Amino acid sequence: MNFVRLVVFGFLFLSVVYICVSLYSRSVRREKLEAEWEETRPEGIHRDAFVKEGMKEYETGLRKRLILLVYIIPLIAVGAIIYFVN
């Protein structure tokens, strides 16, 4: 029963961490896109459209997938600890 409790609370904790890291990463990316638009000021492209297009690229990019390591690395670490202790 303790193992089930560990898994449930661990998953909830990692979900909160994942959401926080994901929101932070999106915020940083949005700020970079806004700074890039301010620096280059491309003609014919509105700032919101530029940022929206950049965020679309972010959604399909590698960085978003790498944030999933928040779940994978602790799972591997706990599994390794359990394996080596037993």
Residue 1 reports pLDDT greater than 90: no
Please identify which residue in the block is written with the tokens 């297009």.
53
- Sequence ranges of the domains in the chain: 15-85
Q: How far apart are CA 72 and CA 83, in angstroms?
A: 16
Q: Tell me the pTM.
A: 0.83
Three state DSSP letters for 4-41: HHHHHHHHHHHHHHHHHHHHHHHHHHHHHHHHHHHHHC
Q: What is the pLDDT of residues 16-54, one digit of tens each?
A: 999 999 999 999 999 999 999 999 988 888 999 999 999
How confident is the model at residue 44, as a pLDDT? 87
Joined together, the tokens standing for residue 30 give 């949005």
Which secondary structure element, helix H or strand E, spans residue 62, and what is its range? helix 62-66
Residue 29 and residue 59 in contact, taking contact as beta carbons nearer than 8 Å: no
